[in-house]
Amino acid sequence: MSGRSGDEARKPSVRVNTMNRSFTIRQLTKEFGVTARTLRFYEDEGLIAPERRGQTRIYSARDRARIILILRGRRVGFALAEIREILDLYDVHDGGVRQTMHARKKFEEQLHKLERQKVDIEESLVELRRAITEIDSRMAKGIYTVQPQRHQVAAE
């Protein structure tokens, strides 16, 4: 006995069905909240490769999985070129070792980049708050007053 419940034991067959499933552009745009133009752009960039039946694009489970990875990568700030590097390593037949190690390296680099940006943002927020406080203080002391704007007419 494997110790798994009946529902858990059936999950692999559900995955197999999902793997053979195809998707329309409308289904994927609705599922992921992206535009058809976005998916066509990813196709133009070579990140996904839907089948074509006439003018209709048919997306495979592989395309869907790649879209998930692309959107995750974009959400954490990766450029499409960086996402492509990671996705292209999937096709290297080493059990995903190179892809995983490369992805880990890229994730760590991105983490450090975002941490530096966070520090920069925090410093900017402090400076902006300081400037607002200074302006408010000067206005309260009457140093700055609002002057009516005069419109000058250009000489003819």
In this structure, the answer to whether residues 90 and 56 fall within a common structural domain is no
* Sequential DSSP letters for the chain: --S--HHHHHHHHHHHHHHT-EEEHHHHHHHHT--HHHHHHHHHTTS---EEETTEEEEEHHHHHHHHHHHHHHHTT--HHHHHHHHHGGGSTTTTHHHHHHHHHHHHHHHHHHHHHHHHHHHHHHHHHHHHHHHHHHHHTTSS-PPPP-PPPPP-
In this structure, the answer to whether residues 46 and 83 fall within a common structural domain is no
In this structure, the answer to whether residues 133 and 114 fall within a common structural domain is yes
Residue 153 has pLDDT above 70, yes or no: no
Could you tell me which residue, 65 or 2, shows the higher pLDDT? 65
In this structure, the answer to whether residues 87 and 129 fall within a common structural domain is yes
Domain interval for residue 93: 79-140
Number of domains in the chain: 2
In this structure, the answer to whether residues 24 and 61 fall within a common structural domain is yes
pTM over 0.75, yes/no: no
Lowest mean pLDDT among 41-50, 90-99, 125-134: 90-99
Query: Domain for residue 37, yes or no?
Result: yes
Question: Tell me, what's the pLDDT at 51?
Answer: 95
Task: Report pLDDT digits (tens) over 93-110.
Answer: 777 788 888 889 999 999
In this structure, the answer to whether residues 66 and 90 fall within a common structural domain is no
